[in-house]
Amino acid sequence: MHSASKERGAADFLLSGNGVKSAPGLFGEAENSCIEPKISARGVNFYYGPKRALKDINMDFSPRLITAIIGPSGCGKSTFIRLLNRMNELVPGTRLEGEILLDGLDIVAPVCDVAELRKRVGMVFQKPNPFPKSIFENVAYGLEINGSLARRAIEEKVEDSLKKAALWDEVKDRLRESALGLSGGQQQRLCIARCLAVEPEVILFDEPCASLDPISTAKIEELILTLKKTYTIVIVTHNMQQAARVSDRTAFFLMGELIEYGGTGMIFKAPHDRRTEDYITGRFG
Amino acid sequence: MIKRNKEKGIEWLFTALAFSSLVFLTGIVIVLVKEALPIFSTVSLPAFLGGESWYPTAEPPEFGIFPLIMASFWVSAGAMLICVPLGVGSALYLHELAGERQRAVLKPVIEVLASVPSIIYGFFGMVILAPFLQDRFNLPIGLCVLSTSIVLGVMATPTVASIAEDALGYVPRSFREASFALGANRWETLTRVIIPAAGSGISTAVILGMSRAIGETMTVLMVAGGAAVVPSSIFDPVRPMTAAIAAEMGEAPVGSDHYHALFAVALALFIVTFAFNIIAELISRRYRLKLGLSR
A147 contacts chain B (CB < 8 A): no
> What's the gap between Cα A270 and its chain centre?
27
pLDDT for A35 equals 61
**Per-residue pLDDT at A28:** 36
pLDDT band at B97 (very low <50, low <70, confident <90, very high): confident
Let me know how many helices (H) and strands (E) chain B has, helices first.
13, 2
Q: Are residues B80 and B6 in the same domain?
A: no
| Residue from the list B175, B182, B197 with its beta carbon closest to the beta carbon of A142 | B182
Same domain, B7 and B58: no
| Cβ contact A199:A169 at 8 Å | no
> B78: closest CA among B229, B280, B234?
B234
Residues B68 and B8 in one domain: no
**Domain co-membership, B9 together with B132:** no
- Reported ipTM: the value is 0.83
CB distance from A82 to chain B under 8 Å? no
Check residue B288 and give its pLDDT.
Answer: 64
Count Cα atoms within 13 angstroms, Cβ side, for A5. 6
Is the CB of A1 inside 8 Å of chain B's CB atoms?
no
Q: Residues B30, B49: one domain?
A: no
The residue in chain A having the minimum alpha-carbon distance to the alpha carbon of residue B183 is A115
Contacts of A191 in chain B (CB under 8 A): 178
Contact A179/B at CB under 8 A = no
Q: What angle do CA B108, B113, B117 make, to 5 degrees?
A: 135
| Cβ distance of B177 and A90 shorter than 8 Å | yes
Q: What is the CATH number of the domain that holds B110?
A: 1.10.3720.10
Compute the distance between CA of residue A131 and CA of residue B49 in angstroms, rounded to an integer.
46
**Same domain flag for B91 and B143:** yes
Same domain, B124 and B27: no
Phi-psi region of A71 (alpha: psi -120 to 50; beta: other; left: phi over 0): left
Query: Shortest CB distance from A118 goes to which of B175, B182, B197?
Result: B182
Do B8 and B75 have their domain in common?
A: no
Over residues B194-208, the mean pLDDT reads 88
Number of domain units in chain B = 2
Nearest to B197 among A90, A132, A198 (CB): A132
Chain B CB within 8 Å of residue A194 CB: yes
For residue A219, the SS3 value is helix
Please indicate whether, in this complex, the C-beta atoms of B181 and A87 are within 8 angstroms of each other. Answer: yes
Q: What is the pLDDT of residue B201?
A: 86
Burial-class residue B109 by CB neighbours within 10 Å (0-12, 13-18, 19+).
exposed
Of A122, A129, A146, the CB nearest to B175: A129
Query: Chain A partners of B196 at a C-beta cutoff of 8 Å?
Result: 132-133
Successive 10-residue mean pLDDT values, chain A, 285 residues:
43 39 37 68 93 93 93 91 92 90 90 91 94 93 85 92 93 91 93 94 94 90 92 93 93 93 92 91 76
> Are B233 and B262 part of one and the same domain?
yes
Domain range for residue B24?
2-41
Question: Residue ranges of the domains in chain A?
Answer: 36-280
Kindly tell me if the per-residue pLDDT of B146 is higher than 90: yes
A178 lies within 8 A of chain B by CB? yes
Closest CA to B184 of A114, A38, A57: A114
- % chain B with pLDDT above 90: 59
The pLDDT assigned to B176 comes to: 92
CATH of span A36-280: 3.40.50.300
Q: Is A2 helix (H, G, I), strand (E, B) or coil?
A: helix
Are B19 and B152 in a shared domain?
A: no
Q: Which of A141-155, A243-257, B24-38, B66-80 has the lowest mean pLDDT?
A: A141-155
Confidence (pLDDT) at B291: 58
Q: Are A119 and A52 in contact (CB under 8 A)?
A: no
Same domain, yes or no, for B69 and B100? Answer: yes
Do B182 and A125 make contact, defined as CB atoms within 8 angstroms? no
Where does the pLDDT of residue B290 fall: very low under 50, low under 70, confident under 90, or very high at 90 and above?
low
Q: Which of A115, A144, A191 sits opposite B185 (nearest CB)?
A: A115
Average pLDDT on B9-38 reads 93
Chain B residues in contact with chain A using a Cβ-Cβ cutoff of 8 Å: 172, 174-185, 188, 192-193, 196-197, 290-292
Contacts B290 to A, Cβ<8 Å: 132, 178, 180
| Model pLDDT, residue B12 | 92
Query: Across the interface, do A85 and B174 touch by the CB < 8 Å criterion?
Result: no
Q: Report pLDDT for A2.
A: 46
Give the separation between CA A220 and CA A126, rounded to whole angstroms. 12
B170 with B240, same domain: the answer is yes
pLDDT in tens, B222-246: 998 888 888 888 899 999 999 999 9
Looking at residue A285, its pLDDT comes to 58
